[in-house]
């Protein structure tokens, strides 16, 4: 069959290779890459990391796929675990990638079992099965130290970001424009619950008006075009509305567009967040901006930029927005994912208890017998 990645399409027939084992393995990897591209998987985020992992595993075993056994797969993961801290989710990602490669080379429709049996006397086999499978036993496998910020911590972070601007100005040094941009983008990430990529890939055209909130002008909503994609699908899109509790973000964005962005002389560049070189703000630069402000604010070092998104979800819940609204604002497919992001404060839970007590014992709270 002429399936993308089939052996007869990537392995030249009638050619005598000086190193047939390496030639067949390279063709297998190329074919798997072709098969994934035919499924419209992301080249940089999905396909290339999987292919690198396959080469890495082959180097570790010093064997070829038709020689692999479950023992090699288990030894590889154990080796990575012994070398240092290996996150559970990372181990499962490696496991799944190697399992999918084995599924590809053992599928008779692609022709690799027959080719390997003919040339090397044995076909490839699946090395991961139900007995050595890494299961998804917990809905949250991230670092438990990563958490939503409290209101005071959010304020400390933003004060630190603004303080960097004042410090640069006081020293009459370059970089105040970049520092003001960094402060504005951090506040925007929090005020709209954005992921890194969503924030960096915002364009001026993504600033939207909300006819139900005309007072916010062109800052009534953000149109997110580069949301996190499901595997094999294009980026998801959504519109994030400006809510009254975060309406200060409209002023932040207005000041940035009128006073800061023109200083970069962006010409006709469409990006909302631009750099000194008239380019788009990078993911790495955004991470660095958060880390600098976090360190200056004295916050725990395990907190990262994504904590602002967790904080946004938590604070919307504490503002009593419906769960479905919060879920749609942040673009989660499942409500359970939004629940994982939520870490309400003791004060909020106490208010709920007090509200329930008042409803149940109204006479006592009103001082009536």
Q: What is the pLDDT of residues 341-352, one digit of tens each?
A: 777 666 767 776
Note the pLDDT of residue 237.
93
Q: Which residues contact 364 (CB under 8 A, 6 or more apart)?
A: none
Note the pLDDT of residue 361.
64
Q: Given a cut of 80, is residue 233 above it in pLDDT?
A: no
How much is the average pLDDT of 179-208? 96
Is 142 inside any structural domain? no
Is 135 inside any structural domain? no
Residues 114, 155 within the same domain: no
Q: Which residues contact 369 (CB under 8 A, 6 or more apart)?
A: 363
Q: Which of 51-60, 103-112, 178-187, 356-365 has the lowest mean pLDDT?
A: 356-365
Is 82 inside any structural domain? yes
Q: Given a cut of 90, is residue 184 above it in pLDDT?
A: yes
Is 199 inside any structural domain? yes
- Write down which residue in 120, 139, 165 finishes a domain: 120
Residues 99, 195 within the same domain: no
Note the pLDDT of residue 45.
83
- Write down which residue in 80, 97, 120 finishes a domain: 120
Residues 294, 205 within the same domain: yes
Note the pLDDT of residue 235.
86
Cα–Cα distance, 34 to 16 (Å, whole number): 23
Q: Given a cut of 90, is residue 269 above it in pLDDT?
A: yes
Is 368 inside any structural domain? no
Residues 179, 308 within the same domain: yes
Residues 110, 210 within the same domain: no
How much is the average pLDDT of 188-194? 97
Residues 176, 67 within the same domain: no
Residues 56, 200 within the same domain: no
What pLDDT band is residue 140 in, cutting at 50, 70 and 90?
low
Note the pLDDT of residue 309.
94
How much is the average pLDDT of 172-201? 95
Q: Given a cut of 60, is residue 364 above it in pLDDT?
A: no
Q: Which of 70-74, 169-173, 276-280 has the lowest mean pLDDT?
A: 169-173
Q: Taking a C-beta distance cutoff of 8 angstroms, is the pair 222, 192 a contact? A: yes
Residues 215, 71 within the same domain: no
Cα–Cα distance, 312 to 95 (Å, whole number): 33
Is 139 inside any structural domain? no
What pLDDT band is residue 369 in, cutting at 50, 70 and 90?
low
How much is the average pLDDT of 50-60? 96
* Max mean pLDDT range (108-117, 129-138, 355-364): 108-117
Residues 88, 223 within the same domain: no
Note the pLDDT of residue 133.
74
CATH number of 196's domain: 1.10.443.10
Give me the phi and psi of 281, to 5 degrees please. Answer: -60, 130
How much is the average pLDDT of 215-240? 89
Is 320 inside any structural domain? yes
- Of all residues in the chain, what percent carry a pLDDT higher than 90? 67
Beta bridge partners of 307: none
How much is the average pLDDT of 200-224? 95
Distances (CA, A) of 70 to 55, 61, 73, 93, 230: 17, 11, 5, 17, 29
Domain extent at residue 62: 7-120
What pLDDT band is residue 54 in, cutting at 50, 70 and 90?
very high
3-state SS string for the chain: CCCCCCHHHHCCCCCCCCCHHHHHHHHHHHHHHHHHHHCCCCHHHHHHHHHHHHHHHHHHHCCCHHHCCHHHHHHHHHHHHHHCCCCHHHHHHHHHHHHHHHHHHHCHHHCHHHHHHHHHCCCCCCCCCCCCCCCCCCCCCCCCCCCCCCHHHHHHHHHHHHHHHHHHHHCCCCCHHHHHHHHHHHHHHHHHCCCHHHHHCCEHHHEECCHHHHHHHHHCEEEEEEECCCCCCCCEEEEEECCHHHCHHHHHHHHHHHHHHHHHCCCCCCECCECCCCCECCHHHHHHHHHHHHHHHCCCCCCCCHHHHHHHHHHHHHCCCCHHHHHHHHCCCCHHHHHHHCCCCHHHHHHHHHHHHHHHCHHHHCCCC
Is 166 inside any structural domain? yes
Q: Given a cut of 60, is residue 138 above it in pLDDT?
A: no
Cα–Cα distance, 105 to 32 (Å, whole number): 8
- Write down which residue in 120, 142, 170 finishes a domain: 120
CATH number of 95's domain: 1.10.150.130
How much is the average pLDDT of 212-239? 89
How much is the average pLDDT of 201-215? 95
How much is the average pLDDT of 233-258? 94
Distances (CA, A) of 329 to 247, 266, 315, 325: 15, 30, 13, 6
Residues 101, 178 within the same domain: no
Note the pLDDT of residue 344.
67
* pTM as predicted: 0.72
Cα–Cα distance, 15 to 242 (Å, whole number): 63
Residues 156, 281 within the same domain: yes
Note the pLDDT of residue 153.
95
Q: Cα 316 vs. chain centroid, distance in angstroms?
A: 21
Q: Taking a C-beta distance cutoff of 8 angstroms, is the pair 297, 159 a contact? A: yes
Note the pLDDT of residue 142.
58
What pLDDT band is residue 12 in, cutting at 50, 70 and 90?
confident
Residues 155, 23 within the same domain: no
How much is the average pLDDT of 63-75? 94
Note the pLDDT of residue 329.
95
How much is the average pLDDT of 26-52? 92
Beta bridge partners of 203: 271
Number of domains the chain contains: 2
């Amino acid at each position: 069959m002429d399936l993308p990645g089939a052996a007869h399409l990537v392995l030249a027939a009638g050619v005598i290779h000086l190193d047939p084992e390496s030639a067949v393995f390279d063709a297998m990897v190329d074919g798997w890459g072709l098969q994934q591209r035919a499924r419209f998987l992301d080249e940089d985020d999905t396909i290339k990391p999987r292919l690198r992992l396959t080469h890495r595993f082959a180097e570790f075993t010093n064997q070829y796929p038709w020689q692999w056994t479950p023992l090699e797969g288990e030894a590889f993961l154990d080796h990575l675990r012994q070398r240092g801290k290996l996150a559970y989710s990372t181990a499962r990602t490696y496991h799944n990638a190697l399992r999918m490669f084995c599924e590809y080379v053992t599928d008779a429709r692609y022709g690799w079992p027959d080719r390997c049996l003919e040339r090397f006397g044995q076909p490839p086999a699946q090395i991961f099965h139900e007995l050595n499978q890494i299961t998804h036993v917990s809905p949250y496998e991230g670092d438990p130290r990563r958490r939503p910020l409290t209101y005071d911590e959010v304020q400390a972070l933003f004060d630190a970001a603004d303080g960097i601007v004042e410090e640069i100005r006081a020293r009459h040094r370059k970089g105040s424009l970049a520092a003001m941009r960094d402060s504005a983008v951090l506040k925007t990430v929090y005020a709209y619950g954005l992921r890194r990529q969503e924030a960096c890939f915002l364009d001026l055209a993504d600033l939207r008006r909300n006819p139900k909130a005309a007072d916010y002008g062109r800052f009534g909503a953000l149109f997110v075009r580069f949301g996190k994609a499901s595997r094999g699908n294009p980026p998801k899109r959504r519109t994030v509305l400006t809510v009254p509790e975060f309406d200060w973000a409209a002023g932040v964005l207005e000041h940035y567009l009128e006073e800061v962005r023109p200083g970069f002389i962006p010409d006709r560049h469409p990006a909302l967040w631009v750099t000194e070189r008239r380019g788009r703000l990078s993911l790495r630069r955004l991470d660095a901006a958060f880390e600098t402000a976090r360190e200056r604010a004295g916050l725990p070092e395990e907190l990262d930029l994504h904590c602002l998104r967790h904080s946004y979800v938590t604070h919307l819940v504490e503002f009593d927005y419906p769960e479905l609204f919060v879920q749609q604002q942040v673009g989660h497919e499942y409500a359970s994912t939004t629940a994982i992001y939520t870490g309400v404060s003791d004060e909020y839970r106490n208010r709920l208890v007090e509200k329930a007590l008042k409803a149940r014992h109204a006479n006592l709270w009103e001082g009536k017998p």
